[in-house]
Structure 1
Amino acid sequence: MAHEPNGTSDVDAFLAAVDHPVRRRDALALAALMARVTGEQPRMWGPSIVGFGTHHYVYPSGREGDTPATAFSPRKAATTIYLADGTEAHAELLGVLGPHTLGKGCLYVKDLETVDPGVLEQILRRSYAAVTEGTFGG
């Protein structure tokens, strides 16, 4: 997910253009939730990722770059929520979140109304804090 933020893209226009009504509803809700959790304004990272804050990473190989500290993308099959500190750190909370699937650093949710909003907020707060306060080494 190493993209430069695209400050010229309009987040509101991107979200309004999401075809699937549930993905659009969920995207608008996630944008508001992530803005509240992070205190950051959303920015487009590439053509389809809405990110909040910035995380600069440096790998042992010397490769480095910037990613959003937290982000999401309303994809066709599910909304992808990017957790820069990975999903393993949130295993206990994910166990009580509600219906979802996981990738290495991705949480896939088909319908936000089926998950516990308080648990999702806790996951986002913990992930954002780990990335921005330096407790995550990625």
Structure 2
Amino acid sequence: MAKNKTNETEVKVIDFIESYVDNDQKKADSHKLIELMSEWSGFEPKMWGPTIIGFGSYHYKYASGHEGDAPLIGFSPRKAQFSLYVYSQTDKSESLLKELGKFKMGKACIYFKKLSDINISIVEKLSAETIEYLNEHHECACRN
């Protein structure tokens, strides 16, 4: 069975941002997202793989037998645009996307250029919906 590429690492989040992000606006937006997502999730940021900043974790297992761990919520300040991991396939999340602002959607990933393009209060609601969904459907670090 294939090994997961995206695992929690020991790399310091701040070191990653300072060495990887070459745009001052993207650095500022990254620091703001870290502050907000730490508050929303109740978890400190950790690096997942080489470029994802994640908060908390959950364990998943597919019908195929493939299983692993992933962050509850997170983001990556990629070169072209941010990747935001705060989406779960629920009716509520789908409805919230209509108020998010300027973004593109991948399968389960939200892409945007800068924080000012999106509505932060909607990102907070999407994050809460995702954490709630993961708590109900997976073994989750968000359980008290």
TM-score range relative to shorter protein: 0.7 to 0.9
* Structure 1 range deviating more: 41-50 or 80-89: 80-89
Matching of residue 41 in structure 1 with residue 44 in structure 2? yes
Q: Encode CA deviations 1:10-55: one digit per residue, 9 max, x unaligned.
A: 1111122311222212111111111000000111111111011111
Q: Which residue of 2 aligns with 1:65?
A: 68
Distance 1:86 1:26, change over 3 A: farther
Partners in 1 of 2:11 and 2:42 — Cα distance? 20
Distance 1:100 1:84, change over 3 A: closer
Partners in 1 of 2:34 and 2:105 — Cα distance? 20
Q: Which residue of 1 aligns with 2:16?
A: 14
Matching of residue 104 in structure 1 with residue 107 in structure 2? yes
Q: Which residue of 2 aligns with 1:5?
A: 8
Partners in 1 of 2:5 and 2:24 — Cα distance? 28
> Helix, strand or coil for the counterpart of 2:129?
helix
Query: Which structure 1 segments of 5+ residues have no match?
Result: none
> Which residue type is aligned with residue 12 of structure 1?
I
Partners in 1 of 2:115 and 2:91 — Cα distance? 21
Partners in 2 of 1:108 and 1:88 — Cα distance? 20
Kindly report the root-mean-square deviation, in angstroms, between the aligned alpha carbons of the 2 structures.
2.1
What's the TM-score once normalised by structure 1's chain length? 0.88
Distance 1:37 1:134, change over 3 A: same
Distance 1:13 1:86, change over 3 A: farther
What's the TM-score once normalised by structure 2's chain length? 0.84
State the percentage of identical aligned residues.
34
> Helix, strand or coil for the counterpart of 2:136?
coil
Partners in 2 of 1:87 and 1:13 — Cα distance? 35
Q: Encode CA deviations 1:82-138: one digit per residue, 9 max, x unaligned.
A: 13624875121111111000001100111111221111111111112211x22479x
Asked if 1 retains the 8 angstrom alpha-carbon contact of 2:75 and 2:82, the reply is yes
Q: Encode CA deviations 1:40-89: one digit per residue, 9 max, x unaligned.
A: 01111111110111110000011111111111100111110113624875
- Structure 1 stretches of at least 4 aligned residues deviating more than 6 Å after TM superposition: none
